[in-house]
Chain A
């Protein structure tokens, strides 16, 4: 294998209590300490970092407008490669691809991908009160609930075209909760049934409260370096086999097809081609679950089932522990944590599964994992395929 083959050598995430950072840490502090933990487990330190990647919604307007610049200042590092691509919650899968390219080309040797959010503690989730300029002038004046409304409109159209049901969507939330019940770090661990999901309050038809992700604090870090360097480090390297990304729209009215996730179709096709693997070879899937419909449309777009068959595919708790298709094995954004942008946590969990560190929720013989992030309002997709060395 190429000695500059990019690999993941460290991951970490912020433990939460009731969905909050227990000491009220700022988004910068969360990023700094999770970065230190992720570097520590590999046997690296912040002084080794020469590539820095982050995206977030903190400090805007203000220091968050130049997030890698602010974060490198806070950390006391002077990176020679940086990337603050923000395509929504999928940004971190995109960052991993960008870090891999920079490392393979020799632009940097140790890349650190960070995320931090205190949205729950700060009650900063609601972005209301800002004047709708440019493209948003055609949405906000009509009381568009953001972001749930766009996902709800996609679910409505998927139901219309394919007969998908609320029960089928609920299967996804119930399976995620079953995984969370095996994960002591998950935020929501009470039992959850399909009836519970269907009887939870309707938020934006046809999506109920339990079709929606949690709103928590959180943060984490992923460390990427070369396979050659990883040979001297403390962790088992996880190989970045393939990646891809695509974006189509942000304004909901511009979504090219409400019943089809085109960004995921394209990003996954690129990632599978680069990795030289097929959907049938994937052992564990971490699929961004901002809402249940996100997952259902993602499964179709990634090619795990045909378009329109996502509902049937998830029926019978197929994605739950013990099911034929292990997915969102930490409990996902629906039950583990969702600090505004969730993409980084998909990769943290995939790495723990591939290293065999997932405890009670460990998927047997997990050799190849796929993470797929979705950002905005079904706007962007970024896919990464990872494997054991």
Chain B
């Protein structure tokens, strides 16, 4: 990877189903068969009750902006040309929070509490990143 290429996720045994799901247009998260809570990022044990009885579920892809920032300079050379852009913590309706981008032409209008919907954005090398747009 050169300094100017955007970093791509290095999928592993814990996370491959998540990235494969994104490629297929699905947002999948792990959920616990014992306590019933979903979690993100995917782990071998439930971070809420530490059970190892977990399943993958498809999330609705809807949620709310819990907090966010506008990167005015970009994270390193790879993101310099994109700035300003919005990085947000999205709270999915299933409960877990995930860090992503709000894809918008007007970063100044992004606010905490706004409803968002997942969009699947193609990155380099066929990788697909789940991002979010403001809900209609």
Is the C-beta of B136 less than 8 angstroms from some C-beta in chain A? no
Q: Is the CB of A128 within 8 A of B78?
A: yes
Cβ of B30 within 8 Å of any chain A Cβ, yes or no, is: no
CB of B117 within 8 A of chain A?
no
Answer whether A204 and B78 are a contact pair too, CB < 8 Å, given A138-B99, A143-B101: no
Residues of A within 8 A of B78 (CB): 128, 143
Give, as a whole number of angstroms, the nearest-CB distance from A62 to chain B. Answer: 20
- Do A204 and B67 have beta carbons less than 8 Å apart? no
Closest chain A CB from B97 CB (angstroms) = 6
- Give chain B's interface residue range (CB within 8 Å of chain A): 35 or more
Q: Report chain A residues within 8 Å CB of B85.
A: 143
**B:4-35 near A, CB below 8 Å:** 6-12, 15
B57 CB within 8 Å of chain A: no
In B84-132, which residues have CB < 8 Å from any A CB? 85, 87, 89, 97-101, 112-113, 123, 127, 129, 131
**B37 contacts A by Cβ under 8 Å:** no
Q: Which chain A residues lie closer than 8 Å to B100 at the CB level? A: 142
Q: Are A138 and B9 in contact (CB under 8 A)?
A: yes
- Is A48 close to B, CB under 8 A? no
User: Given A138-B9, A160-B67, A203-B72, A143–B87 Cβ distance below 8 Å?
Assistant: yes
A253-284 interface (Cβ within 8 A of B): 253-254, 258
Q: Are B73 and A145 in contact (CB under 8 A)?
A: yes
Instruction: Let me know if B10 and A132 touch, CB within 8 A.
Output: yes
Q: Which residues of A contact B11 (CB under 8 A)?
A: 137
Q: Is the Cβ of A145 less than 8 Å from the Cβ of B99?
A: no
Q: Given the known A-B contacts A131-B10, A156-B112, are A126 and B41 also in contact in the complex, defined by CB atoms under 8 Å?
A: no
Number of A-B residue pairs at CB separation under 8 A: 123
**Minimum CB distance partner of A137 in chain B:** B9
Interface centre among A134, A139, A141, A251 (most CB of B within 10 A): A141
User: When the two chains form their complex, are residues A205 and B3 in contact, meaning their CB atoms are under 8 A apart?
Assistant: no
Contact of B129 among A142, A145, A153, A156 (CB under 8 A): A142
Please, how many angstroms separate the alpha-carbon atoms of A137 and B78 in the complex? Answer: 16
Among A63-98, those with CB < 8 Å from B are: none
Q: Which residues of A contact B1 (CB under 8 A)?
A: 129, 131
Q: Across the interface, which residues of A come within 8 angstroms of B89, CB to CB? A: 153, 252-253, 258
Is the CB of A202 closer than 8 A to any CB of chain B? yes
Asked if B36 is at the interface (CB within 8 A of a chain A CB), the reply is no
Check A128 against B72 for contact (C-beta < 8 Å). no
Contact (Cβ within 8 A) A141 B87: no
Indicate whether A146 reaches chain B with its CB closer than 8 angstroms. yes
Taking CB atoms and an 8 Å cut-off, the chain B residues in 53-82 that contact chain A are 66-79, 82
What residues of chain A lie closer than 8 Å to B66, measured between beta carbons? 157, 258
Q: Are A153 and B101 in contact (CB under 8 A)?
A: no
Interfacial chain B residues near A139, Cβ < 8 Å: 99
Interface status of A324 (Cβ within 8 A of chain B): no
With both chains docked as a complex, state the minimum distance between the C-beta of B30 and any C-beta of chain A, in angstroms.
Answer: 13
A144 proximity list for chain B (CB < 8 A): 71, 75, 87, 99
The answer to whether A180 has its CB under 8 Å from any CB of chain B is no
Docked pose: A254 CA to B70 CA in angstroms: 19
- Residues of A close to B69: CB separation below 8 A: 145, 149, 152-153, 156, 204-207
Q: Does A201 contact B (CB under 8 A)?
A: yes
Q: Is A195 an interface residue (CB 8 A)?
A: no
CA of A201 to CA of B73 in the docked complex: distance in angstroms? 10
> Is A154 interfacial (CB-CB < 8 Å)?
yes
Residues of B within 8 A of A133 (CB): 10, 12
What residues on A are CB-neighbors of B68 within 8 Å?
153, 156
Does the CB pair A201–B72 fall under 8 Å? Answer: yes
A140 to B76, CA, bound (A): 10
In the complex, A182 Cα to B17 Cα: how many Å?
Answer: 57
Question: Contacts A141-B6, A253-B97 given: A128-B76 contact, CB under 8 Å?
Answer: yes
Residue in contact with A143 in the complex, picked from B9, B41, B82, CB distance below 8 Å: B82
Q: Provide the bound-state CA to CA distance between A49 and B40, in Å.
A: 46
User: Which residue of the partner chain, among B6, B9, B72, B123, contacts A205 with CB atoms under 8 Å?
Assistant: B72
Residues of chain B whose beta carbon lies under 8 Å from any beta carbon of chain A: 1-3, 6-12, 15, 40-41, 66-79, 82, 85, 87, 89, 97-101, 112-113, 123, 127, 129, 131
Interface residues in chain A, defined as those with a beta carbon under 8 Å from any beta carbon in chain B = 126, 128-135, 137-146, 149, 152-154, 156-157, 160, 201-207, 251-254, 258
Given A141-B9, A146-B75, A160-B113, 12 other A-B residues pairs in contact with their CB atoms under 8 A: A128-B78, A130-B7, A132-B10, A141-B127, A142-B87, A149-B87, A153-B87, A156-B68, A202-B70, A203-B73, A251-B99, A258-B66
Q: Please list the 4 inter-chain residue pairs (A to B) with the smallest Cβ-Cβ separation, ordered nearest first.
A: A137-B9, A128-B76, A152-B69, A253-B99
Q: 18 interchain pairs (CB within 8 A)? A: A129-B2, A131-B1, A132-B9, A137-B10, A138-B40, A138-B98, A138-B99, A139-B99, A142-B87, A143-B71, A143-B82, A145-B69, A149-B87, A153-B67, A204-B69, A204-B73, A205-B72, A254-B97
